Structure 1
């Protein structure tokens, strides 16, 4: 049985990884997070000595890094913590994985791009992050490339699953208000953690190493996505389509949001023919389980 360490196991993706891989008898998961809980081992990924020791003693064949600092606005004024978690943490895991002869799966983000694209970004496109979050996540990618031998970097976007996310926020607002205002000029692909966990499951058992994009198929904007959420959940709340400028005038944001976040899963398709579900099907599946 193969042992896999899951960092950030209590987050949305960590929970989805647990559901996906515990259904497979070939894996034994070693769940870690910054906080201890039932079945969870406390591990601070920013402590290199602790990480190296833990990975070596665990006997794990792979590490799936779901740990990240994702509070985008807070990071604009909390730069050091952002680099510690999003860059130094992956570096430490990469060092530990190499010393233990283990594979490393590292999850990254669309924010490594500048968000001004006009066609879906592929893995070979030039990066250019504009926020602290994007810069630290790109630094994390570079650390993994520098220190890990066998690695998979998977960039995803607009993620939702078991935990706090955009879908649940919109559904909560629909219980309180007759209408909500949502931006219409930011494009991307809503992606379920369930679909991303399936893709990670597919990759971790291979030697198909490298940088990958991992999002559901198709694209939309936040306002249209919200309308689809409400339709599937049977909500009558009206969605006001507003521009980013209109929204931020009333709700200031410290970090800039990318206007264009559509990723093309080029490497997955090119190297293995692997396909994600369409975003419409994924959100329908999620809402069905949620309500």
Structure 2
């Protein structure tokens, strides 16, 4: 199995590399933006044609949701043009393209879980640029799989779990938004799911290409998520004090970009096609010491 990974220093990218290092019979090339600028079409084509992977997994993205409102061109360059370059190159060498997208492609006002077939209506630049990337990938490479996920966290990089633990060092009380709901998703589980799918495509000739949702269960609010983090941190002796978490409304914490009130993604399609179960985010919080190093 021959894989090309982009965005190798991001949360999902680093988890992919960790897992690939422990997989037998796999040749892979993992590149970060310093090694491959995916917005550079000629550079992308040179790397892809010379390495000739069977699957490209694009874990590179512009994810600064609020800053994207000002950095519009950069957002689209990384989230639309870069994936388009990779997808075109994938199609040229006959590779499959696995691309990570987001719950922000939806308006976030649906009752219940979002299906892959639901109307997309992003509310900000980040979501719009990611949706544009989905469209570009689908148009450029028929053998594509787009994986929409939400609320990603891990031991690597910046994320909600690490922010909560950092804030708890100097604070005894926090106000956390309680009217936005979704499924926290462990980046390691996303990596495992992507590699499982890559194997299914290459070795089992699974042709279930298209759009899939993959996130954590059970669905919770940010307030619930924070409470669980602090309960686990106390139980694991990562925190020695009790943190009081107060529920607040989205309107109490204004941000430049609008957040979806509902980020609940339905995971049934990916389970039916590939046997991939939702991310167990509660299990992923059982090693919080790794999030503080």
Normalized against structure 1, the TM-score is what?
0.93
Q: Tell me which residue corresponds to 2:212.
A: 212
Q: How big is the alpha-carbon RMSD for the aligned residues of Structure 1 and Structure 2? A: 1.3
**Maintained 8 Å contact 2:15/2:191:** yes
Given the alignment of the two structures, is residue 103 of structure 1 paired with residue 96 of structure 2, yes or no?
A: yes
SS at match of 1:146: helix
Q: Tell me which residue corresponds to 2:250.
A: 244
Task: List per-residue Cα deviations over 1:27-73 (Å, max 9, x = no partner).
Answer: 122111122xxxxxx11100111111110001211111000000011
- Residues 31-180 of structure 1: pairs in structure 2 closer than 5 A: 31-35=30-34, 42-161=35-154, 162-180=156-174
Given the alignment of the two structures, is residue 267 of structure 1 paired with residue 269 of structure 2, yes or no?
A: yes
Deviates most, 205-214 or 134-143: 205-214
Report the Cα offset of residue 103 of structure 1: 1.2
Q: Tell me which residue corresponds to 2:175.
A: 181
Given the alignment of the two structures, is residue 200 of structure 1 paired with residue 199 of structure 2, yes or no?
A: no
Cα distance in structure 2, aligned partners of 1:104 and 1:202: 14
Cα distance in structure 1, aligned partners of 2:253 and 2:33: 34
Q: Tell me which residue corresponds to 1:283.
A: 285
Q: Tell me which residue corresponds to 2:9.
A: 10
Paired residues, number? 279
**Maintained 8 Å contact 2:214/2:279:** no
**Maintained 8 Å contact 1:123/1:266:** no
Cα distance in structure 2, aligned partners of 1:33 and 1:256: 29
Cα distance in structure 2, aligned partners of 1:5 and 1:232: 36
Cα distance in structure 1, aligned partners of 2:9 and 2:219: 28
Cα distance in structure 2, aligned partners of 1:127 and 1:218: 23
> Where does structure 1 differ by over 3 angstroms across 4 or more consecutive aligned residues?
288-291
Cα distance in structure 2, aligned partners of 1:75 and 1:140: 15
Q: 1:283 to 1:96 in 2, by over 3 A?
A: same
